Amino acid sequence: MNDFNTESHSQSPLSLLQWYLDSGVDECISDDATDWFEINATAAPKPAQPNRSNQPAAATRPAASAAAYPLQATDQIAATAKDLVKDCKTLDELRQKIEEFDGCALKKTASKTVFSDGIAGSDLMLIGEAPGVEEDRQGKPFVGASGQLLDKMFAAIHRSREENLYISNTLPWRPPGNRKPSDAELHICQPFLMKHIELAAPKVLVLLGGTAASSLLDSKVGITRLRGKWHEIEVAGRIIPVMPTYHPAYLLRQPQTKAQAWSDLQNIRDKLNELDGSKA
């Protein structure tokens, strides 16, 4: 008889849950609550998938969670988010306001709000995609395997979270099952990110991976073509140089791309030196 046979687990629900966890099943929810009675009774059509740009959504964006936000609601929720943080004067205030916000469904399934790590006020700020399972547990960005690689990469240009590096994400809550953030979620949380950048006031921004790059540069161009070149964004009237580069999770899967990432890192180091020199 096999090990997870009914008898032992019916006597020990905890051991069954542990078995699920050990097997990698760490969610017992779907993105949206489903009213099966309603569906059976009316077979109602689903709301249209929201699309903040009125252009075809990227194929990788999930439709399931987008259905949680009817089209007209997404703009309204984003406007509420913007209004909530518009008067924040410090990063602590901003963190508090984000923790109060209930407009993004991801917050309900996340166990922690992941705001930032590192030195606030550093001249270099990194933006990743969204917290993963370990970040959700610890409440800090990039603490899992890709975070370890990230630390090594930036150590190579003499940057560390303990001294001179500040890190955040496009979203402060983990998407269930580590799926990609939807356009609607990115749109709703964008006012938080913009305020975060405004208050952290870095001299240089690094966007880690396609989600951060396409969201902040408002571009449909992939990371392979965006990386390695300087871009600019305007935040609260200030122009900030931006370097998109590969996400460390991608580098772990495709180690042959590390040479390009190293070239981006050297570029970032040189830009910071140049800006530091022009201060004097």
Residue from 50, 62, 118, 131 in contact with ligand URA (CB under 6 A): 131
Nearer to ligand URA, 49 or 143 (CB): 143
Q: What is the Cα Rg of the chain in Å? A: 21
95 DSSP 8-state letter: H
Residue 198 Cβ vs ligand URA, minimum distance, rounded to whole Å: 21
Question: Which of residues 50, 62, 118, 141 is near ligand URA by CB under 6 A?
Answer: 141
CA distance 110 to 174: 6
Nearer to ligand URA, 49 or 174 (CB): 174
Query: Whose Cβ is closer to ligand URA: residue 131's or residue 202's?
Result: 131
Q: List strand residue ranges (DSSP E) for the chain, in order.
A: 117-118, 124-128, 166-169, 204-208, 231-235, 238-245
Q: Which helix (H) or strand (E) holds 164?
A: none
Asked whether position 128 contacts ligand URA by CB under 6 A, the answer is yes
> Which two structure tokens, joined as six digits, stand for 274?
């140049």
Stretch that binds ligand URA, among 86-94, 141-149, 226-234, 237-245 (CB under 6 A): 141-149
* Size of interface with ligand URA, in residues (CB under 6 A): 11
Question: Whose CB is nearest to ligand URA?
Answer: 128
Asked if residue 135 binds ligand URA (CB under 6 A), the reply is yes
Residue 191 in contact with ligand URA, rule: CB under 6 A: no
Nearest to 45 by CA among 77, 65, 74, 70: 70
Question: Is 129 a residue that touches ligand URA (CB under 6 A)?
Answer: yes
DSSP 106-152: HHHH-SS----EE-TT-SEEEEES---HHHHHHTSSS-SHHHHHHHH
Shortest distance, CB of residue 122 to ligand URA, whole angstroms? Answer: 17
Bridge partners of residue 126, in order along the sequence? 167, 206
Q: Taking CB under 6 A as the rule, which mask of x and - marks residues 168-187 in contact with ligand URA?
A: -x------------------
- The token duo for 43 is 């077979």
Q: Which residues bind ligand URA (CB under 6 A)?
A: 128-132, 135, 141-142, 144, 146, 169
